[in-house]
Structure 1
Amino acid sequence: MNDTLQHLYESTLDHPEQYQDFYQQLLASQVYCLGERDAEQHLHFQLMETEQGEQAIPFFLSLAMLQQDVGADAEFVMISAEKLFAITKGASLVMNPTSEHPKEFLADEIDAILEFAKQQSL
Structure 2
Amino acid sequence: MTTPNFADDTQGRELENLLMLAMNEPAQRPAFYRTLLESTVLVLTDNTAPQGEVVLEAGSPLSLQVWEKQDGTRALPFFTSLAALQRAIEGEHPFLALPARVLFEMTQGTELFLNPKNEYGKEFTAQEVALLLQDGGVNKPQERVVEAGHEYLIGQPEHYPAAMVDALTTLFSQRKPVRRAFLALIHDKAHDEQPNLLVGLEVEGATEQEIEDLIQEAGSVASEALGDNEAVDFCLVSEKERGISHYLIQHTQPFYQRRWGSWLRNIIPSSGIA
Q: What is the TM-score of this pair, normalised by structure 2?
A: 0.41
| Match status 1:92 vs 2:111 | yes
Farther-moved stretch of structure 1 (85-94 vs 31-40): 31-40
- Structure 1 contact 67–74 (Cα < 8 Å) conserved: no
- Structure 1 contact 12–19 (Cα < 8 Å) conserved: yes
| Match status 1:116 vs 2:135 | yes
- Structure 1 contact 12–18 (Cα < 8 Å) conserved: yes
Unaligned runs of 5+ in 1: none
Aligned to 1:66: 85
Aligned to 1:107: 126
Question: Which structure has greater helix proportion?
Answer: 1
Deviation of the 1:100 alpha carbon? 1.6
- Structure 2 contact 113–123 (Cα < 8 Å) conserved: yes
Unaligned runs of 5+ in 2: 1-10, 49-55, 141-208, 210-274
| Match status 1:56 vs 2:66 | no
Question: Which structure has greater strand proportion?
Answer: 1
Aligned to 2:255: none
Give the one of 4, 8, 15 matched to 2:25.
15
| Match status 1:5 vs 2:15 | yes
SS in structure 2 at match of 1:86: helix
> What one-letter code is carried by the residue in structure 2 that aligns with 1:84?
L
- Structure 2 contact 44–95 (Cα < 8 Å) conserved: yes
Q: CA RMSD in A?
A: 2.1
> What one-letter code is carried by the residue in structure 1 that aligns with 2:15?
L
Q: What is the TM-score of this pair, normalised by structure 1?
A: 0.87
Identity value in percent: 34
**Structure showing greater Rg:** 2
4+ residue runs of structure 1 moved beyond 4 angstroms? 36-40
- Give distance in 2, aligned partners of 1:104 and 1:13: 12
- Give distance in 2, aligned partners of 1:29 and 1:71: 25
SS in structure 1 at match of 2:34: helix
| Match status 1:75 vs 2:75 | no
- Give distance in 1, aligned partners of 2:73 and 2:20: 24
SS in structure 2 at match of 1:13: helix
SS in structure 1 at match of 2:19: helix
> What one-letter code is carried by the residue in structure 2 that aligns with 1:30?
T
- Give distance in 2, aligned partners of 1:5 and 1:114: 18
Shift in CA distance, 36/77, structure 1 to aligned 2, threshold 3 Å: farther
> What one-letter code is carried by the residue in structure 2 that aligns with 1:55?
R
